[in-house]
Each structure stands twice: as C-alpha cells, then as structure tokens.
Chain A
Amino acid sequence: MAAEHGRKWDRCLADTAVKTVTGISVGIVFSVLFFKRRTWPVSFGSGLGLGMGYSNCQHDFRSPYLIHGRVVKEQSSR
C-alpha cells in the first residue's frame, strides 16, 4: 500500500502540473486573442488548471471511500 500511496502522489502531482500548465497556456491564448493581453485570463486559467488538478488529486485519494449508489426501481412485489 505504501507503493500505491506513492504512486498516487506521483500521478497527482504530474496531473496537477500538466493541468496548470495547460490552463496557463489556454489563458495566455485567450488573453492574447480575446481579452487584449489582460492578466486575468492567465490567472484564471492557471487557477482553473490548479483547481482541476487539485480536484482530480483529491478524487483520486478519496476513491477508496466513495460510495456508489444505484437507483433501484420499485419491484412489483412489495
């Protein structure tokens, strides 16, 4: 399990890094293209990317504790 833990962390960090960078780049693109070189899309994009990465990381760590429910249709025999 220690290995699993370590692997999770690796994935998580890598994923977050990728997403942040992607976000930054998308932000840059948008800032350049649509928003007249303002900074806010960049920060927005980075935030977006960080957030997604954080969320994914959290989800990954939570995954053992998540309960998946199913809607069960009412049976005819009550």
Chain B
Amino acid sequence: MLRVCLRGVKATARKNSGRTRLTNLQHNRGYTAGESSGASRVVVAGLLTVSGGVGGTILYAKWDHKFRAAVEKNVPYSEWLLGLALGPAPQDTGLPIKKRMESLQPPSMMEKQMRTPTTKPEKKLKETAEHPAPDASSALVQSAQSIQEASAEATQIISAISEVQSVPAPCDTEAAATGREDCKECNDHTVAMEPTAVLQKTDSAGTAEPLTERPVEEVAARLAQQDQEENNVVASVSASLEDSLASSAQATLQAIGAQEAALQAIGQHTHKLKEAMEAEAPSEEKSTQWKDLETALADRTTSMNVAKTALLKANEALDSLKSVIDKSKGLKVAAARPLILAAEENLHKMVVDLDKVVSKVQSAESEAKIVAQYSELVNEAKQQFHREVSSLTPEIQANWKGLTGKLSTDDLNALIAHAHRRIDQLNRELAEQRVREQIHIDAALEQQKLEDQKALEKAVGTALQHVKEEARLEQEKKLAELREVIEAEMRTQLRRQAAAHTDHVRDVLKVQEQELKAEAEQVLSSKMLEQETRYRQLTQEQLDNFTLDMNAAYARLKGVEEAIDSHVEAEEEARKAHQLWLSVEALNYTLKTASAESPSMPLEDAAEAVRASCVDSDFALALASALPEKSLKRGVYSEASLRARFYSMRSLARRVALIDESHNTLYQYFLSYIQAALLFESQQEAPPTQLHSEDLDAFKLLSYASYCLEHGDLELAAKLVNQLRGEARRVVEDWLTEARLTLETRQVASLLSAYANAVGLGTTQAP
C-alpha cells in the first residue's frame, strides 16, 4: 500500500511540471483570505461548469451514439449514468427486423412443405381411384415408397376395382408363377366364374406380397392333384352318363320297338278292316275275317298300350338322362365335355326317333280312325238296309241272296216297289248328298285344314325344337373343338416359353460358367504369383542375411584392426589429455587465489600453460584464447567479494531508483531518496521462472539478485541486475562488468575442465 501511495506521489510529481492551478489557487487563497464571497463564487462557478459539462455530454451522447459509446468505453461509470438519463443504448434496428423476417419465413416454408406431402398422397389416391389398372400399379409403387398408409389404402382400392392383377414390382416372379397357375385354373372354369376368381386371386396376390415362389414340386403336386381330381370327376361323370345313356337307350329302343309293333298292329288292323269291308267273302270266311279283325283289334289295343307305357318309360329315361347331363354340365369339367356332348347328341337322336315313331303311329292311328269310321258307316248302312229289308219282308231272313224260288210275286213286287222306292230315296239322298256334298266337303276341308294346321304347328314346333337342339349341339361341338384347339395352342405356347426359358437359362449358365472360370483362373494366377514372390523374397532374404553376416564379420575385423591402431593413438591422446587436464586444474587453482577484496592473480601463465598443452585441439585453443584480456592481465574477483560489493551497491541503487534519462532533476533525487527510505522490500526474494513487467522494478530486481547471490547463482544475479535501468544501472555498471568478467572466466575454465575431463575419460582405458 505504501508503494501505491508512492506511485501516486510519482504521478503527481510527473504532472507537477505542467500543473500550476493548484499552486495558483493556494496563492489566491492566501491573498484573499478575507473575501469569502469570492470563494463561494468560485465554488458556484465550478459547480456550474461541472454540471454544464456533464449535461452537455449527456445531450451530445443522446444525439450521437458513437460519442456515447466512446464515452461509455473510456469513462468508468458513465454507462450507468447515461443509462439512467437516456435509457438503455438502442441496438441496431436493422438486424432484428431481418431476423424476424427470417424467423417468419421458415415457419411458412415449413407449412408449405407440410402441405405438399399431404396433398401428394391425396392426389395419388385420387389418381389410383381414377386411372385404370396399369397406372394404378405404378401409382401403387410410388405411394408405397412415400407413405405407408396411402399405399395400404391404394392397394385396397386397386384390389377392389381392378380386373387385371396389379402386383408391386419386387414380387414379379411370384405374381407370374401364381398368374400362371391362375391361368391354368381359369382355363378350366367357365367365363362367368372368371372375374370373381381373378378378383380373389388378385386380393390374395396383392395382400400376400412377401410370398415366395412356390417350389416346382408343390406346383407339380398341385397340378397332379388337380388332374387327378378332374379325372375322378370325369370318370364319375362319364360313368353316370353312360349309365343313364344306356338305360335311356334301352328304354327308347324299347319304346321305338313297341311303337313300331303298334304301328304294325294298326296297319294290320286297318288292312284287315279294309279287306273285311271290301271283300265279299262267304260267311264263314267273313266270320273268320271278323274274328281275325277282332284279334287284330285286340292286338292293336294291347300293342298301343304297350307302346304307350314304353313311351312313358322312354320319356322318363330321357328326362333322367337330361337331368344327369345338366348335373354333369354343372360340374364344369373340361374333359367330360365331349362325353356330355355325345350324350346330348344321343339324347337328341333318341328324342327325334321317338318323335318320328310317335308321329308315324299317330298318322297310322288317324288313318285307322278314318278306316274305322268308314267301316262303321258302311256297317251302319248295311244294318239300316238290313233293317229296312227286314221291316219290309220280316219273314225273309238276312241272307236274301239265296232266296229265289221262295218269294211270291207280291213279295217280289213289294220288294221291287220297295226297291224302287229305295232307289228313289237313295237318288233323292244322292241328290241331297250331292248338294250337301260341297258343304260337307268344305266343312271337312275346313276341319281338315284346322287339323292339318294343328298337326303342322305341332310338327313345326317339334321340327324347330329339333333344329334348335341340333344347332345348339353343333355350337357346343364347335365350342368344344375350338376349346381344344385353343388349349393345344396354349400348350404349344407354354412349351415354347419353357423352351425359351431353358435356352435362356442355358445361356446364363454358360456365361456364368465362363465368368467363374475366369475368376478361378485369376485367383489361381494370383496365388501362383504370390507363391513365387514369396519364394523369391525368401531367397533374397537368405542372400541378404548372408551378405549382412559377411559384412558384419568384415566390419568386425576392420574394427578390431582399427581398435588396435587406435589403441596406440589413444595412449598418446591420453597422455596429452592428462597434460591438458593438469593445466586446466592449474588455471582453476589460480582462479581460487582471489581473496576477499583483491582480485586473483593474473591468469596469464596458466592460460599459457593451457595453450601449450592443447596445441592440436582447436576447440581448446579457441577456448584458451577466449579468456578475457582483463582477467589475464589483472585477474578476477571472487564471488565472495562480488557479493560483498553487491550489498553496498544495492543501497545506492535503491537510493537512485527513480532517476533515469528523463527524470533526473534534483527534486527527483530527493523523491528517490524518500522512496528508498520509506519503501521496504524483502531482503531476498526468490525470482520467478518468468519475469513479468511488474518485476522489472529496481527494488524487486535487487531482492531477486540478492537471493540469487545468497544461493550462489552469480549468473542469474548478473542477469537480474542487468535489467536495472537508468541511474541505478549506471551505478551498478562496474559491478556488472566485474561480475561478467568473473562469469566469463569461470565459464571458460569450466568448459576447459569439462573438455579435459571428457578427453581424459575418452582416452582412459577401462581396466
């Protein structure tokens, strides 16, 4: 603290030359002690000036910010004052606005970015919903890449609406494999089933994305299984069809046979009837004829019944056959189709035959009806005539042809009159008949027409049905043929594809083989090369080792020779070194002869001796000649004497510590003396490893130097004393030169002794 006070004193002393106001004030105060108003005036004026200055500074600082910043920087508490008066210093307004703008922009940009990703999947969804399947598949891929949810939705949408399989790209092979299977299955099903089946397949394909390709064995097994199932179904279908066909064929044949028999019976009956009508045979034959006729009629009826039943049975069988065919059609097995077709054809044929036969029978029946009607009419007429005749001639019996002699003339006349009457009646009837003939004919024609129409319609209907059936059968036949053709074509294509695949695989394998071969060759060659290089390396190593050993041996030999040669030299050297060492020891001893106050003896002789003993060593010569002149002539002081001198010199240096080139007035001397008297520093202080600027104070330096001297470090003491400046430096100059001299001489001597020791050690041979 005292030092601080003295520093203040120094500062005031420095300012003293310029500053006279204080003294003037003191004078004024001394002369005008009575006038107190003058002092108050002065005080007021001073206060006004000070306040004016402060206010002006504040106003200007308010106006000019740079000035304010400068004031705040330079004057310690001004920023507090200015802050109080003006408020905090305004920051730059330019940058925050920009920052706010920037802070506003990123949120808006982020919002935009947020919006665009959300719109993108929406757009994608719309696209997927609108576009057809291929685009949907590409969109599906994109959306799967961007957002997971949108992709899931898109897949659902696609699978819901697409008709084509839309499968993502990485699962191409599985899709192809499953697609191939699906195709095969599709071929087996009818067209109506396809969309739903494909839809299901696409669903399964779309959702089961990570499907691995089914192994070939599984596929083949599945296919074999399917084939087997098909075969089973086909076999069952064919069996059922055959059964029903056989039964229906049997029934139909039976029916046809029965119908034909009926036809025959009808024909026979009619014939017999006709014969019976027309033939004028004797009674016995007639009765036999009538009997035959009755049997024929009985036959006809029985045969008709049999035919009817047979027809019914045949119809039943045909119906069952039809149902079986429909059922087998419902199974939808391709291989059974030709069977079905054949069965249908057979059915159709049988139906046609049956119909034909039935129509024949019907026509025969109608003919027979006509004949029967005719025969009835004839019978009726005969009977009527017979009745008439019998009524006329009751006694005459039926068989009037044989009666020629029995009849009287009256009877004959009555008979002839009756006959005439009858003839007239018959003529009249004939005339009437002829008159009504036309009407009857028309009516009959009409009826016939109607009947004909009905028959025609019926025939047309049946013919149409038959034709339709035939056309349908033909169409089905054609379809079956077409299907076969297509199937064959597909098979060929598949075969072709398989062939292409095998070709490709073969090519790829070839290429791979080549590549692998090349790789293997490369590896082989590299390994060979490696082996060779290693072998060469090893041989080289061996060679090198041998060479090294040889060289080593040679070098050792040489070394041994040199050692022997140098031994001789070494001895010579040793002797010289010994000499040198002795002379250096002498020099050191001379140095020690310095007493407390007087210097040592002149070192000239010793130096001469040293020089003499080291003529061939330039280093030692240089060193010997490096001894300073003064030490040679006059000698050097010992450290002890220097130490003693230091203390006396120290007090003087302290006393002139303030004096230097610019401060050397007597007043400064006075101040310096006061400082030396008042300042107490530690007598000795350990010097720091690094000198800072505040350590360059004279007092500190002196204390450091005395510490060093007390601890025997003359060199450091000299260095520290060298840092003194100004008058103090001048005062200690001669001590410093003496110290330098001593240090130099001692350094040279120590170097020489070190050298001599080294040489001596070097040349000394170990025992």
**A interface residues with partner B (beta carbon < 8 Å):** 1-2, 5, 54, 57-58, 61-62, 64-65
Shortest distance from the beta carbon of A51 to any chain B beta carbon, whole Å: 11
Q: Report the separation of the CA atoms of residues A65 and B665 in the bound assembly, to the nearest whole angstrom.
A: 11
A62 and B664 contacting across the interface, CB-CB below 8 Å: yes
B731 and A2 contacting across the interface, CB-CB below 8 Å: yes
Shortest distance from the beta carbon of A77 to any chain B beta carbon, whole Å: 34
Q: Report the separation of the CA atoms of residues A54 and B664 in the bound assembly, to the nearest whole angstrom.
A: 12
B669 and A1 contacting across the interface, CB-CB below 8 Å: no
B666 and A61 contacting across the interface, CB-CB below 8 Å: yes
Q: Which of A54, A58, A62, A65 has the most C-beta atoms of chain B within 10 angstroms of its own C-beta? A: A65
**A5 and B666 in contact (CB under 8 A), knowing A64-B730, A65-B661?**
no
B661 and A1 contacting across the interface, CB-CB below 8 Å: no
Question: Which residue of B has the minimal Cβ distance to A53?
Answer: B666
Shortest distance from the beta carbon of A40 to any chain B beta carbon, whole Å: 19
B666 and A1 contacting across the interface, CB-CB below 8 Å: no
B664 and A1 contacting across the interface, CB-CB below 8 Å: no
Q: Report the separation of the CA atoms of residues A1 and B666 in the bound assembly, to the nearest whole angstrom.
A: 18
Could you list 16 examples of A-B contacts with CB < 8 Å?
A: A1-B649, A1-B730, A1-B731, A1-B735, A2-B648, A2-B649, A2-B652, A2-B731, A5-B652, A5-B731, A57-B666, A61-B664, A62-B664, A64-B727, A64-B730, A65-B664
| Interface membership of B734, Cβ < 8 A | yes
Please indicate the chain B residues that have their CB under 8 angstroms from the CB of A54 in the complex.
666
| Interface membership of B709, Cβ < 8 A | no
* A-B pairs with lowest CB-CB distance, top 8: A1-B731, A2-B652, A65-B661, A62-B664, A58-B666, A1-B734, A58-B665, A57-B666
Shortest distance from the beta carbon of B664 to any chain A beta carbon, whole Å: 5
Task: State the majority secondary structure of interface residues on A.
Answer: helix
| Interface membership of B732, Cβ < 8 A | yes
Please indicate the chain A residues that have their CB under 8 angstroms from the CB of B669 in the complex.
61
Please name 17 further chain A to chain B contacts, defined as beta carbons within 8 Å, in addition to the given A58-B666, A62-B664, A64-B730, sorted by A numbering: A1-B649, A1-B652, A1-B730, A1-B731, A1-B732, A1-B733, A1-B735, A2-B649, A2-B731, A5-B652, A5-B656, A5-B731, A57-B666, A61-B659, A61-B666, A61-B669, A65-B661
Shortest distance from the beta carbon of A43 to any chain B beta carbon, whole Å: 18
Shortest distance from the beta carbon of B297 to any chain A beta carbon, whole Å: 181
Q: Report the separation of the CA atoms of residues A35 and B651 in the bound assembly, to the nearest whole angstrom.
A: 49
Q: Report the separation of the CA atoms of residues A57 and B649 in the bound assembly, to the nearest whole angstrom.
A: 22
Please indicate the chain A residues that have their CB under 8 angstroms from the CB of B652 in the complex.
1-2, 5
Please indicate the chain A residues that have their CB under 8 angstroms from the CB of B664 in the complex.
58, 61-62, 65
Residue total for B at the interface (Cβ-Cβ under 8 A)? 18
Please indicate the chain B residues that have their CB under 8 angstroms from the CB of A57 in the complex.
666
Q: Which B633-662 residues have C-beta < 8 A from chain A?
A: 648-649, 652, 656, 659-661
Please indicate the chain A residues that have their CB under 8 angstroms from the CB of B660 in the complex.
65
Q: Which B653-686 residues have C-beta < 8 A from chain A?
A: 656, 659-661, 664-666, 669
Question: Which residue of A has the minimal Cβ distance to B728?
Answer: A1
Q: Return the CB mask of B699-739 against A: 1 if under 8 Å, else 0.
A: 00000000000000000000000000001001111110000
Please indicate the chain B residues that have their CB under 8 angstroms from the CB of A58 in the complex.
664-666
Shortest distance from the beta carbon of A11 to any chain B beta carbon, whole Å: 13
Shortest distance from the beta carbon of A52 to any chain B beta carbon, whole Å: 13
Please indicate the chain A residues that have their CB under 8 angstroms from the CB of B734 in the complex.
1
Shortest distance from the beta carbon of B434 to any chain A beta carbon, whole Å: 185
Shortest distance from the beta carbon of A34 to any chain B beta carbon, whole Å: 30
Q: Report the separation of the CA atoms of residues A2 and B651 in the bound assembly, to the nearest whole angstrom.
A: 9
Shortest distance from the beta carbon of B225 to any chain A beta carbon, whole Å: 124
Shortest distance from the beta carbon of B233 to any chain A beta carbon, whole Å: 133
Q: Report the separation of the CA atoms of residues A75 and B659 in the bound assembly, to the nearest whole angstrom.
A: 39
Q: Report the separation of the CA atoms of residues A61 and B669 in the bound assembly, to the nearest whole angstrom.
A: 9
Shortest distance from the beta carbon of B737 to any chain A beta carbon, whole Å: 11
Q: Report the separation of the CA atoms of residues A65 and B725 in the bound assembly, to the nearest whole angstrom.
A: 12
Please indicate the chain B residues that have their CB under 8 angstroms from the CB of A61 in the complex.
659, 664, 666, 669
Please indicate the chain B residues that have their CB under 8 angstroms from the CB of A5 in the complex.
652, 656, 731
Please indicate the chain B residues that have their CB under 8 angstroms from the CB of A62 in the complex.
664
Q: Return the CB mask of B729-752 against A: 1 if under 8 Å, else 0.
A: 011111100000000000000000
Q: Report the separation of the CA atoms of residues A67 and B326 in the bound assembly, to the nearest whole angstrom.
A: 145
Please indicate the chain A residues that have their CB under 8 angstroms from the CB of B661 in the complex.
65
Shortest distance from the beta carbon of A54 to any chain B beta carbon, whole Å: 6
Question: Which residue of B has the minimal Cβ distance to A63?
Answer: B664
Please indicate the chain A residues that have their CB under 8 angstroms from the CB of B649 in the complex.
1-2
Q: Report the separation of the CA atoms of residues A65 and B656 in the bound assembly, to the nearest whole angstrom.
A: 14
Shortest distance from the beta carbon of B226 to any chain A beta carbon, whole Å: 123
Please indicate the chain A residues that have their CB under 8 angstroms from the CB of B730 in the complex.
1, 64
Question: Which residue of B has the minimal Cβ distance to A67?
Answer: B661
Please indicate the chain B residues that have their CB under 8 angstroms from the CB of A64 in the complex.
727, 730
Please indicate the chain B residues that have their CB under 8 angstroms from the CB of A2 in the complex.
648-649, 652, 731
Q: Report the separation of the CA atoms of residues A7 and B648 in the bound assembly, to the nearest whole angstrom.
A: 15
Q: Report the separation of the CA atoms of residues A65 and B727 in the bound assembly, to the nearest whole angstrom.
A: 9
Q: Report the separation of the CA atoms of residues A62 and B730 in the bound assembly, to the nearest whole angstrom.
A: 12
Q: Report the separation of the CA atoms of residues A64 and B660 in the bound assembly, to the nearest whole angstrom.
A: 10
Q: Report the separation of the CA atoms of residues A1 and B659 in the bound assembly, to the nearest whole angstrom.
A: 15
Q: Report the separation of the CA atoms of residues A57 and B664 in the bound assembly, to the nearest whole angstrom.
A: 11
Q: Report the separation of the CA atoms of residues A54 and B670 in the bound assembly, to the nearest whole angstrom.
A: 12
Shortest distance from the beta carbon of B377 to any chain A beta carbon, whole Å: 184
Please indicate the chain A residues that have their CB under 8 angstroms from the CB of B735 in the complex.
1
Question: Which residue of B has the minimal Cβ distance to A64?
Answer: B730
Question: Which residue of B has the minimal Cβ distance to A2?
Answer: B652
Question: Which residue of B has the minimal Cβ distance to A1?
Answer: B731
Q: Which of A2, A5, A54, A61 has the most C-beta atoms of chain B within 10 angstroms of its own C-beta? A: A2
Q: Report the separation of the CA atoms of residues A27 and B618 in the bound assembly, to the nearest whole angstrom.
A: 75
Shortest distance from the beta carbon of B19 to any chain A beta carbon, whole Å: 21
Shortest distance from the beta carbon of B602 to any chain A beta carbon, whole Å: 24
Please indicate the chain A residues that have their CB under 8 angstroms from the CB of B648 in the complex.
2
Q: Report the separation of the CA atoms of residues A54 and B648 in the bound assembly, to the nearest whole angstrom.
A: 27
Q: Report the separation of the CA atoms of residues A2 and B727 in the bound assembly, to the nearest whole angstrom.
A: 11
Question: Which residue of A has the minimal Cβ distance to B729?
Answer: A1
Shortest distance from the beta carbon of B647 to any chain A beta carbon, whole Å: 11
Q: Report the separation of the CA atoms of residues A62 and B664 in the bound assembly, to the nearest whole angstrom.
A: 6
Please indicate the chain A residues that have their CB under 8 angstroms from the CB of B731 in the complex.
1-2, 5
Question: Which residue of B has the minimal Cβ distance to A12?
Answer: B666
Question: Which residue of A has the minimal Cβ distance to B661?
Answer: A65
Question: Which residue of A has the minimal Cβ distance to B735?
Answer: A1
Question: Which residue of B has the minimal Cβ distance to A16?
Answer: B666
